[in-house]
């Protein structure tokens, strides 16, 4: 039994767990990480976003204000420090719980999981910028940064990677610069103009109705798995662009494979 820094009690048990290996799966899924939904899959499932921080932000603000009014080092101050820490810990716990449910679900159901190789650090770089080059739309970007961090993209990827290794699944990464949102996953046509607010769009080339996020997830799957080639130069797919080579979008795909499953079929 132990008590953590913010005064919560923990009881640990030792259990011997026999981990059943997951049945082999040839199913592949593309995963788009987002803010409205933390996870959208290529088969159209959306996880939602419990927005853990938002729910607790008011409580946290209040607790922090109370803390600021107490004399530093006093007994009341010390008690309040613990209260603030407890709220932080509660946020972390609920977030972690949700992330584990998401990643375990994906790993159980699919043999190959395709992700976009997001640069989380770049995405959440300081919105304020520097004195010489002040950032634009600081408040909006700070809000988005908070959402990205809250959704924990980096953590979701980390969990998927270690669980994939553990259960013999494969993680493939699509090029982070691939225009996954602007490309029709049905015909491969590229739409130059695709504002972020457009959530559903009809492809002018083939007429397919694409949900922004699951369309991106399907592209991520196709690109990472070397599936349907996509023409990034606008217009329709050219007949020559039917292999990985010759299509700039498919080139920088990084493979991470569990050594145990090399040679096994993963539906590629």
Choices 3-11, 67-75, 109-117, 184-192 (CB under 5 A): range interacting with Zn ion: 184-192
Whole-number minimum distance, CB 258 to Zn ion, in Å? 35
205 forms part of the interface with Zn ion (CB under 5 A): yes
Token pair of 109 as six digits: 């159901």
Nearer to Zn ion, 111 or 229 (CB): 229
Q: What residues numbered 90-109 form the site for Zn ion, per CB under 5 A?
A: none
One of 186, 201, 244, 248 touching Zn ion (CB under 5 A)? 186
Token pair of 219 as six digits: 């592209």
Residue 67: burial class (beta carbons within 10 Å; 0-12, 13-18, 19+):
middle
DSSP 16-85: ----PPPPP---EEEEEE-SSSSEEETTS-B-----HHHHHHHHHHHHHHHHHTSPTTSHHHHHHHHHHH
31 forms part of the interface with Zn ion (CB under 5 A): no
Token pair of 263 as six digits: 């040679």
Choices 24-32, 49-57, 116-124, 207-215 (CB under 5 A): range interacting with Zn ion: 207-215
Q: Give me the residues paired with residue 129 across strands.
A: 134
Nearer to Zn ion, 115 or 203 (CB): 203
Element (H, E) at 256: strand 254-256
Whole-number minimum distance, CB 181 to Zn ion, in Å? 14
200 forms part of the interface with Zn ion (CB under 5 A): no
Choices 28-36, 156-164, 204-212, 226-234 (CB under 5 A): range interacting with Zn ion: 204-212
208 forms part of the interface with Zn ion (CB under 5 A): yes
With left for phi above 0 and alpha for psi between -120 and 50, is residue 188 left, alpha or beta? left
One of 112, 113, 184, 247 touching Zn ion (CB under 5 A)? 184
Local structure of 116: helix, strand or coil: strand
Distance of CA 48 to the CA centre of its chain: 12
211 forms part of the interface with Zn ion (CB under 5 A): no
One of 33, 63, 203, 261 touching Zn ion (CB under 5 A)? 203
Nearer to Zn ion, 43 or 186 (CB): 186
Cβ of 263: how many Cβ atoms within 10 Å? 7
- CA angle at 185 for the pair 180 and 186, rounded to the nearest 5°: 165
Catalytic residue list: 32, 116, 213
One of 206, 209, 251, 264 touching Zn ion (CB under 5 A)? 206
Site residues, Zn ion (CB under 5 A): 184, 186-187, 189, 203, 205-206, 208
């Amino acid at each position: 039994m132990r008590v953590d820094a913010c005064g919560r009690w923990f009881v640990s048990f030792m259990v011997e767990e026999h981990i059943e290996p997951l049945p082999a799966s040839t199913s592949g899924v593309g995963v788009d990480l987002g803010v409205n939904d933390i996870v959208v899959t290529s088969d159209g499932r959306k996880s939602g976003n419990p927005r853990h921080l938002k729910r607790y932000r008011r409580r946290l603000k209040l607790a922090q204000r109370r803390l600021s009014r107490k004399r530093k080092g006093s007994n009341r101050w010390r008690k309040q420090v613990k209260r603030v820490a407890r709220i932080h810990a509660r946020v972390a716990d609920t977030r972690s719980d949700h992330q584990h449910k998401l990643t375990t679900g994906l790993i159980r159901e699919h043999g190959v999981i395709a992700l976009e190789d997001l640069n989380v650090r770049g995405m959440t770089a300081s919105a304020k910028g520097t004195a010489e080059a002040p950032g634009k739309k600081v408040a909006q970007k700070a809000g988005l940064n908070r959402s990205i961090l809250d959704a924990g993209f980096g953590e979701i990827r980390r969990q998927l990677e270690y669980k994939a290794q553990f259960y013999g699944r494969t993680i493939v990464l699509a090029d982070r610069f691939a225009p996954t949102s602007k490309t029709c996953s049905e015909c491969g046509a590229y739409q130059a103009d695709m504002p972020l607010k457009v959530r559903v769009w009809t492809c002018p080339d083939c007429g397919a109705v694409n949900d922004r996020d699951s369309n991106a997830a399907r592209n991520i799957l196709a690109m990472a798995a070397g599936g349907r080639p996509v023409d990034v130069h606008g217009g329709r797919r050219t007949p020559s662009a039917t292999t990985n080579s010759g299509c700039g979008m498919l080139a920088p795909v990084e493979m991470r494979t569990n050594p145990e499953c090399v040679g096994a079929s993963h539906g590629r």
